[in-house]
Structure 1
Amino acid sequence: MISALVSTGRRRSFTGTPAHLLTLLAAGFACWVIYANIFVISDPLVLGILFVSGILTLLFPVIGHSPNAPDNPTILDWVLCALSLASGVFFFVNAQVISDRITLLDEFTGAQFFFGTAILLLTLEATRRTTGAGLTGIVVAFLIYNWFGYMLPPPFGHGISEFSYLLDILVFTTDGVFGVPIQVVASYVFLFVMFGTLLSKAGGGEFFFDLASAATGNSRGGPAKVAVISSGLYGTMSGSPTSDVVATGSITIPIMKRLGYSKKFAGAVEVAASTGGSAMPPIMGSAAFILAEYTGTPYRDVVYAALIPAMLYYVGVFSQVHLRAVKHDLRPYSGEIPRLSRTFALGWPYIIPIAVIIGMLWVGYSPVMTAGAGALGVVIGTALSGRTRMTPWELIQALGETTLRILPVAGACAAAGLVIGGLSMTGLGMKAANVIITLSGGDLGWTLLLAAVVTIVLGLGMPTPSAYILAAVLVGPALTKIGLPILESHMFLLYYAILSALTPPIAVAALAAAAIADEDPFVIAFEAVRLAAVGFLMPFAFLWNPAILGTGSGLEIAMACIGGIVGAGAIALSFEWVGRQQSGRLAWPIRALLVLGAAASVAPNMAISLAGIVGTAVLSTALLVRPVAVPSEELPPIDNSKNTVD
């Protein structure tokens, strides 16, 4: 059942001439996106039309209709490809006429009705192929409601009863398929993915892994710590929990297993660490760009607000990994540990583009210009060293790979645009907000708890951007109605949309790790939730104390940082510590004190915060003075005859 919801079409791998042709076409499309965003001022509708039709034209031959699709594109794939191209040409040629139409008053011509319906159906099929039946089913359900919802009684009914009305809003304006989500993907997201792809192609992923290995590889539990740090660093390039798991987990999970770490723990560490990458500045994930556009907040402010929570999330994960290593005497990394000085000596060109990104955001340039400058910084910076310099063909490959990486994101965001357009024209978003407030009785705590649960449920089996978009339009108005500031409330939703990637029963990031770890994804997901416990509490913490989001005086922010570090450590200790009690476990009253101390440490009242920090630090220190290492049943003897990772 779950596999059917998340299974996607087969991603075809071409070789020879077809592969080179696809790379050139995809690279050419990437060059057009760069030109349209940086060198000209494009009409949003025209940009959206050309972007979607171009993506769909490439998507159908590349991604098959099912996981068992044949190696070569079928006749149906080529028909859908041709229809996508024809629809794009029609909309582009008639862009001025379409822009001048009076929405809901001017009747459709036969061609407009045909190609508009084609775009709608092609978008649904692209969504099904790229994200699975889960998101597609939700979008279809909303479309059915938009079309036939007039039959429902108040308050859920509406007055729309004609398909042409629906088509006019969803396809011929910037409120539907070509709305905010696809506009963001066609600009910020595409260019930042290009930055990450170029950096990865030049060897940036290996640099980050070596950096993490040099910093923590020699310590107890080194491989798990390497996974935490490298996944967080790689997440700044990928912005996708699943991609992060596949990219870094293919290295870290086998190493952890070889050194005796359980399959469950190895997979869970990678999942928890990779999921946090979508919230890690300076790039974060595509959902963060949508948040910035949707809330009207400068992306620099979003990055600034996300910095402290992201660091505290990784403090929590790292602390639990360290305590687990102490508890079970987990072994350090057994391979060759690169020296930190040598790592920087060889990889200094990779620092240049990261510095460019941070500097451009700090000065206040737009995300589009920042991403463009960062990508240029990769090309120029890596060209300064023969070891990292890319050839012209590698640059073309990176551009082509950028377009291919965007295919699933674009499919999901185009479908999400259909949901947003339908909700805006039927008013269902505000109705859903009223239901949430009614169920919670208007109480802040219950409203936030309901919002968190609904966001996680909406995100099960979905890409993070889709999960956030659905939460923003369905749950966001409820948080606004109870008086929460828009940035704080949407950061709250963003966090739970990200965490849905590791939350059972679907946990798409755990599904990716399960294939590498050879373990049940449910087992990995539940262990990952435990490791990411700080992340689930973090949104409540930064709504309680906005200084965690960087709001307030320097002293308030400093206290929030210190309190957050102490609190994250206390939460980790409450989960992982093993003491001298007869049961071998930390007594529940002590655990409760640690949790209460963690809450007090991040209190907005500085006196309470200071008392919480001191009290929690004293209690934690007392508990850690003489911990007892417990032999782990998870650690079989290492077979020294094995010289390679299985």
Structure 2
Amino acid sequence: MANSAEPGAPTAAGDAHDPTGGGFAAGAEGRLLFWIAVAFSAFQIATAAHVLSVPSQILRADHVGFLMLLAFPLVASARGSGPTGKALAWGLALAGVAVAVYQYVEYEPLILRAGDLNSLDLVFGVVALATVFLAAYWMMGSALPIISGAFLLYALFGEYLPAPLDHRGYDFAQVIDQMAYGTEGIYGIPVYVSATYIFLFILFGSFLERAGMIRLFTDVSLGFVGHARGGAAKVSVIASGLMGTISGSGVANVVTTGQFTIPLMKRFGYRSAFAGGVEATASMGGQIMPPVMGAVAFIMAETLGVEYYEVVKAALIPALLYFASAFWMVHLEAGKHNLLGLSRAELPSPLKALRNGWFLILPLAVLVYLLFSGYTPLYAGTIGLAMTVLLILGGSVALGLPSTVLRVVFWIGLGVVAASFFRIGINAILAAAAVLVVANIFVSGGRDTLAACRDSLAEGARTALPVGVACAVVGVIIGTMTLTGVATTFGQFIVSVGESSLLLSLVLTMVTCIILGMGIPTIPNYIITSSIAGPALLELGVPLLVSHMFVFYFGILADLTPPVALACFAAAPIARESGLKISLEAIKVAAAGFVIPFMAVYTPALMLQDGGPLAAAIGYLPAVAYIVVKAALAIALWGAAVIGFLRAPLVAWERLLAAAAAFTLVAALPMTDEIGFALAALMVGQHWLRTRASRPAGPPGSASPP
């Protein structure tokens, strides 16, 4: 039974939170913001389902207008600002809305006078830029606004820099036109993707969470691996990986699944820093796990002009290797410290969990099917979201029916309606949802279900805020690079380095991604680095998708690397440990993330791409099998070297030998594979001989929970 201490539970007075428990403030202002968030989500669903048809430019402007309207007051409320601060926040919010209204009213005239702005256009253009920059600063701190601001200053004053950094010069009106109007600045591809795919998939995840998907993932993970050696940490890896299939934020994964998994790991003997590192690594890895991939997959597909499933295909094997690596690392850590699993008696049955919650997998399965069948992500996401709503509303109605027979008939009928979208499209599901909304008004518990759906709409909009604001402000960077061609300068430098050493170019790109990723969300980090470094890697012969995946991976790993390490600092208060210590452990657990992108560059078959000397020599499929086996062996050896354990604790020279073998398997130079396999056989063989008579258990750990 819920009590006031539980998340989302109503208080006795009913005024400590909004009626939804969705995280909005108390009072009239909180209720207003809550309903604005609901309206925002409803608008996005209506445009996605083509119930409401608006031009693309208006959709983007309205999306940013809603972002501004919510962002400033919500941040001011969360900070407990006084009357002056709240008045300023609402003033900025209304200024952002005024820009959207101006874009709507002046839509056709703006098209006709493109490139020749009048004074009022300039004023609203400046207001648009100012509100977007301030919203980014309020929500995410100074890192992203400073970087975007530097690019904006470069567009305005770059002509005064020394060659080769200078450009020909652009007047103020031309820069404002580029940044605040059209589709090259703040209303560019990132905001378009945020206004369509990203928002829709965040809503999809919000509804699935509300329906109980987190509980299903956790119970299945506990049931399958909770009893194994180090089972508590293995549960974290699997549960966070599964969460990543529906979530768009690694940091959000940390603070949701981490609330359960980190204390569980500590209870069974894992060090606090290691427990936090495992959760941070697994949660960030969720962003490379198809089908959602932290929403970057949609931006990547849109940017490159390729089908979405091509991006997923390239990500699949590396994602599986990443989680296999994390799983292996926690297994070795558990062996080193003799950490046993949980008692089977206290674990849920995975089969029972699947029997009770199998229907929650249906929307995800349909989503994946549609995406791989050539449907657009927008259509697939709309169908997935609609089916989730059908399940939630339909389950409530079914529970209110008086007999089992009626419930069975009801579910069969609902299934027929849901399947009909193959013939008559989304309208069938929307009509069924409307009927179920009315039905829920009259059945027992139905109004609570409708309130939960309303909460999910508000929560989805609130969750989408930082992503949308980041997409808007990063558009300034894209606009500057499009206007000035600055990316060419950096790209030429990378290419010049790559002419003597491709490896050095890759390392330089990696460092750039990690530095830019400090304090910047994954999506803007990918957009920036792919725009700067992606073309250069392509010119060096790296396949298109592989080059973009390379910068994407290291943008994710930036959230694990010190000194910023956002995911690790999010785990710190749960683990009650220093974020820096957690970051150092996360880097060890995420070793595969640093290795796999380099291996894919030299052997594109790892990302299921054509090209590379290996595929030319032995064929595509044999090359895929070979590189997967080699990568798995390299990861296994690296894990043993880092943790210092295999069958038993490793002596110093065995760890060095394992590290050397792993490095040579990654290097992809002439004869390095042969040397790597030989060193691996030598290390594993002698370790087995040394430990076959007796296998020390390692230092004592927590064999059972205290």
Is TM > 0.5 for Structure 1 vs Structure 2?
yes
Deviations 1:436-463 (A, max 9, x none): 3334555211111111111111111110
Structure 1 equivalent of residue 44 of structure 2: 33
Structure 2 equivalent of residue 22 of structure 1: 33
- Which segment is superposed worse, 525-534 or 285-294? 285-294
Structure 2 residue 694 is the aligned partner of structure 1 residue 630:
no
Deviations 1:124-156 (A, max 9, x none): 001101211111111111111111111112211
For residue 163 of structure 2, the aligned residue among 150, 154, 168 is 154
Structure 2 equivalent of residue 176 of structure 1: 185
Cα distance in 2 between the residues matched to 1:14 and 1:269: 33
Structure 2 residue 230 is the aligned partner of structure 1 residue 230:
no
Matches within 5 A, 1:237-252: 237-252=246-261
Give the drift of 1:80.
Answer: 0.9
Structure 2 residue 127 is the aligned partner of structure 1 residue 118:
yes
Cα distance in 2 between the residues matched to 1:591 and 1:615: 8
Structure 2 equivalent of residue 197 of structure 1: 206
Structure 2 residue 501 is the aligned partner of structure 1 residue 433:
no
Give the drift of 1:592.
Answer: 3.7
SS where residue 49 of structure 2 aligns?
helix
Cα distance in 1 between the residues matched to 2:641 and 2:487: 39
Cα distance in 1 between the residues matched to 2:501 and 2:543: 16
Cα distance in 2 between the residues matched to 1:65 and 1:14: 7
Amino acid at match of 2:46: Y
Alpha carbons 1:61, 1:73 under 8 Å: kept: no
* Cα 1:558–1:614 shift into 2, 3 Å: farther
Q: Give the alignment's Cα RMSD to 1 decimal.
A: 2.8
Moved over 6 A (4+): 387-390, 579-583, 607-615, 636-639
For residue 451 of structure 2, the aligned residue among 393, 408, 412 is 393
Give the drift of 1:639.
Answer: 7.7
Structure 2 residue 515 is the aligned partner of structure 1 residue 505:
no
Structure 2 residue 375 is the aligned partner of structure 1 residue 365:
yes
Structure 2 equivalent of residue 420 of structure 1: 478
Give the drift of 1:288.
Answer: 2.3
Cα distance in 2 between the residues matched to 1:464 and 1:568: 24
- Which segment is superposed worse, 609-618 or 375-384? 609-618
Structure 2 equivalent of residue 643 of structure 1: none
Alpha carbons 1:577, 1:586 under 8 Å: kept: no
* Cα 1:604–1:450 shift into 2, 3 Å: closer
Matches within 5 A, 1:165-564: 165-333=174-342, 336-383=346-393, 385=395, 391-551=449-609, 553-564=620-631
Amino acid at match of 2:496: T
Structure 2 residue 634 is the aligned partner of structure 1 residue 567:
yes
Cα distance in 2 between the residues matched to 1:377 and 1:282: 17
Deviations 1:347-389 (A, max 9, x none): 1111101111111112111110111111122223445645999
Give the drift of 1:491.
Answer: 0.7
Give the drift of 1:216.
Answer: 0.7
* Cα 1:311–1:637 shift into 2, 3 Å: closer
Cα distance in 2 between the residues matched to 1:452 and 1:377: 40
Cα distance in 1 between the residues matched to 2:245 and 2:518: 23
Cα distance in 2 between the residues matched to 1:638 and 1:333: 7
Deviations 1:197-235 (A, max 9, x none): 110111101111111111110111111111111111111
* Cα 1:18–1:64 shift into 2, 3 Å: closer
* Cα 1:596–1:172 shift into 2, 3 Å: closer
* Cα 1:321–1:481 shift into 2, 3 Å: same
Alpha carbons 1:149, 1:157 under 8 Å: kept: yes
Alpha carbons 2:191, 2:468 under 8 Å: kept: yes
SS where residue 293 of structure 2 aligns?
coil
Cα distance in 1 between the residues matched to 2:181 and 2:500: 38
* Cα 1:343–1:65 shift into 2, 3 Å: closer
Alpha carbons 1:579, 1:628 under 8 Å: kept: no
Alpha carbons 1:23, 1:396 under 8 Å: kept: no
* Cα 1:236–1:586 shift into 2, 3 Å: farther
Deviations 1:20-78 (A, max 9, x none): 44333212211211222331654322111111111111111111299564599611011
Cα distance in 2 between the residues matched to 1:65 and 1:161: 40
Amino acid at match of 1:333: L
Cα distance in 2 between the residues matched to 1:97 and 1:314: 53
TM-score (norm 1): 0.90
- Which segment is superposed worse, 56-65 or 391-400? 56-65
Give the drift of 1:636.
Answer: 6.9
Structure 2 equivalent of residue 91 of structure 1: 103
Cα distance in 2 between the residues matched to 1:298 and 1:339: 39
TM-score (norm 2): 0.83
SS where residue 245 of structure 2 aligns?
helix
Amino acid at match of 1:29: F
Cα distance in 2 between the residues matched to 1:451 and 1:485: 15
* Cα 1:582–1:171 shift into 2, 3 Å: closer
* Cα 1:580–1:418 shift into 2, 3 Å: closer
* Cα 1:382–1:109 shift into 2, 3 Å: same
Alpha carbons 2:203, 2:457 under 8 Å: kept: yes
Structure 1 equivalent of residue 75 of structure 2: 63
Cα distance in 2 between the residues matched to 1:639 and 1:319: 22
Amino acid at match of 2:268: L
- Which segment is superposed worse, 265-274 or 427-436? 427-436
Cα distance in 2 between the residues matched to 1:24 and 1:581: 59
